[in-house]
A = this chain, B = another copy of it.
Amino acid sequence: MRSPIPDYLTDALRSVAADTSGATADYIPELAQADPDRLAAALCTVDGHVYSAGDADVEFSIQSISKPFVYALALADRGFDEVLSKVWVEPSGDSFNQISLEPESGRPRNPMINAGALVATSLSGPPGAGADQRFERIVDGLSAFAGRRLEVDEAVYESELHHAYRNRALANMLRAHDIIAEDPLVAVAGYTRQCSLLVTTDDLAVMAATLANRGVNPVTGRPVVSAPVVRQVLSVMSTCGMYDGAGDWMTRVGVPAKSGVSGGLIGALPGQAGIATFSPRLDRHGNSVRGVDLFQRFTADMGMHLMDVPGTAREAIADRYVDGDGPDAIEVIELQGDLRFAAAEHVVREFEVRPPVTSSILLDLARIGTIDDVGRRMLLEAVRRLTIDGHEVFVLDPDQVLPDPDPGTGGRITVVDDRGQVRQR
């Protein structure tokens, strides 16, 4: 069987191909002369499979899509406190080329606008790193997100640097406020160089998937940044990633995203996939016209919207019965599905409403998909309370979905691999 996903992506590209509205960025010749008809889409799953269609292996400069990733590096390298003290997290309501510094402090409103991105660049790498060492850290970091060594397009770099008056203005303003400590020209050079890194649409999908996968590159398996960093980056992308259209994007697409002036666009669907598109013509907000259209289709077709509630789930308790009788009788509770807060709550409520009638209890986790941290803690607390109530609790967990099964003071748990182990006790 051939997977339907490539067909789907190809169909999606075809459906938007005729739209030639918008225009390529024209502030440097390298972008102005980009082939405006390039079109690509790629999707990388959290287990590292990449689907793509169109010109997904064509390289282009990453531009502003570097921002969330360098922000992630800064958070990793300097910690939340230092980074937040120098670049905040509120949407600015301004378009991409606004200054958007806080009036008194000069702190940029968020790291997705240029001023904030300059700060993130300045905070990458260890304190005191020189320009070269810092840039090495950025290339290494973004390459780790992409899963391959990225290279700078020197022509784009030179051309952008030549026209970077606005960014020099921002960097000087940040220096005037002591938000950055270094020579503003060095900061701009570093940021411009980071924007000139060449990526393909496939690369971008992998980079986005690394965010969707708690910071672990799903292709290489290599951890790049920690889960708290990813959470911060995705949060900021969701409120600030699409410039002055963040609210509109949230209602219509509902996926943390970031666009770039060269025509790229990424979205990260936590726990599921990273998606990227490429089409160089931009709308008046500076976002890729066909890219935005594609993401709206993906949201509708793939159920990606963060606020979409899945249809009513199957009950967490698949079955409950007493097995055997007399002193050997054991009450079995078979769980199923994913065990996050809602399902765990359902299980503990079941025990409260209908307390077990036998001395021994078996929780059967064999049909459980995922257990998250709160699901685990609630289940263990229930076990602890059942122990205190006088029950002996067995857990059938052949695949070890319940890590570190310690219910805490007063609780006791016996993990078994098959039911026979219970009987043998």
Q: Hey, which bits of chain A sit against chain B, CB under 8 A?
A: 1-5, 45-47, 49, 88-93, 99, 109-110, 165-166, 168-173, 175-176, 184, 212-214, 227, 230-232, 234-236, 238-240, 244-248, 250-251, 254, 256, 269-273, 301-314, 316, 318, 336-338, 340-343, 345-346, 348-349, 351-352, 355, 366-375, 378, 381-382, 385-386, 389, 399, 401
Contact = CB atoms under 8 A, between A and B. Distances in A.
Nearest first, the 6 closest Cβ-Cβ pairs linking A and B are A337-B369, A169-B172, A367-B367, A165-B176, A90-B247, A272-B342
Contacts of A93: 90-93, 109
B92 A311 contact: no
A92 B246 CA distance: 11
Contacts of A316: 369
Given A173-B169, A247-B90, A341-B273, A1 B309 contact: no
B238 A382 contact: no
Nearest to A100: B93
A270 to B, nearest CB: 4
A101 to B, nearest CB: 10
A240 B238 CA distance: 12
Given A165-B176, A336-B368, 18 more contacts: A1-B352, A2-B385, A3-B352, A90-B245, A93-B109, A165-B172, A169-B176, A235-B254, A235-B306, A236-B247, A238-B239, A239-B246, A270-B307, A272-B340, A303-B340, A313-B338, A336-B367, A367-B367
Given A1-B382, A99-B99, A250 B271 contact: no
B236 A269 contact: no
A227 B251 CA distance: 13
27 contacts: A2-B352, A2-B385, A45-B345, A89-B247, A89-B248, A165-B173, A165-B184, A166-B173, A169-B171, A172-B172, A213-B309, A214-B312, A232-B251, A234-B307, A235-B305, A238-B238, A238-B307, A272-B340, A272-B342, A273-B341, A303-B372, A304-B341, A314-B368, A316-B369, A337-B337, A338-B370, A343-B369
Contacts of A366: 367
Nearest to A167: B172
B341 A1 contact: no
A386 B244 contact: no
A392 B381 CA distance: 46
Contacts of A372: 303, 308, 310-311
A205 to B, nearest CB: 13
